[in-house]
Structure 1
Amino acid sequence: MVRIRGTIGQWPVDLTLELDESDWARLGAQLQVTVPAESGATVAARPVSQDDALWQTARDLVRQAGQIDGPQLLGQLEALAGSTAAAKRLLVRLRHCSEVKVLSGTDSPLYSWVEA
């Protein structure tokens, strides 16, 4: 848990963030710091590229939803990636991901999370 206190202009800020292990790992990678390994040794975290971060977020969207239809997923990916073209590239990548199964829905494809 991280607690942030301070001010923004004249307004006081008191914010508490709860992060799980994967969140800490991603944060450490973004900051290029070392993170403790489970064995107690310390390993250097590899910086995460923007493409890697988008890919992880796209996978997380499907995983958290369990199942999501194509148009809804495309809309969420467009908001994350900033363009329709980038979102469509992520959809294609998801179609070939072993953790995602794409089924033909009535009107659109359904993306489902399956453990690989």
Structure 2
Amino acid sequence: MLRIRGTVGDLPVDLTIELDDGDWARLGAQLQATPVASAAAAPAAPVKHNDDLWQNAQDLLRTAGQLSGLELLDQLEGLAGDASAGKRLLVRLRHSANVKVSSGGDTPLYTWIEPL
């Protein structure tokens, strides 16, 4: 028997899970079959990838000079590989000191500003 007690938000939780010997054996076999990656090795690659991605996003706007928000988002999504990563890059560019965001009618205009 496995008992879990705590809260989810303001709601109290008291959950009891009953497993027989066969269930425990299958659970143990499943846990042994699933390899666990080293926690120390995992963060090194994504950090480099994120740095490269950020540099490429800046280069994209720097090269274009100025893009509408929709065009920039579309290109960032392609660069990043998915919509959520593209949106994160767009927000990061919006808050960058080298980017000026101005009203362009229906969509904002993102303009690259060279540092002095």
Q: TM-score, normalised by structure 2?
A: 0.57
How many Å separate the matches in 2 of 1:83 and 1:107? 24
Offset, 1:115: 1.2
How many Å separate the matches in 2 of 1:69 and 1:57? 18
Offset, 1:104: 1.1
> After the TM superposition, which residues 1-116 of structure 1 pair with which residues of structure 2 at under 5 Å, given as runs?
49-116=48-115
- Report SS of the residue matched to 1:115: coil
Offset, 1:49: 0.5
Residues 76-112 of structure 1: per-residue CA shift (max 9 Å, x gap) = 1111111110000000000110111111111101000
Max Rg structure? 2
Higher helix share: 2
Residues 24-57 of structure 1: per-residue CA shift (max 9 Å, x gap) = xxxxxxxxxxxxxxxxxxxxxxxx7110111001
Regions of 4+ moved over 4 Å:
none
How many Å separate the matches in 1 of 2:90 and 2:78? 13
How many Å separate the matches in 1 of 2:81 and 2:65? 24
Q: TM-score, normalised by structure 1?
A: 0.57
How many Å separate the matches in 1 of 2:102 and 2:60? 17
How many Å separate the matches in 1 of 2:95 and 2:72? 16
RMSD: 1.1
What runs of 5+ residues in structure 2 fail to find an aligned partner?
1-46
Paired-residue identity, %:
61
What runs of 5+ residues in structure 1 fail to find an aligned partner?
1-47
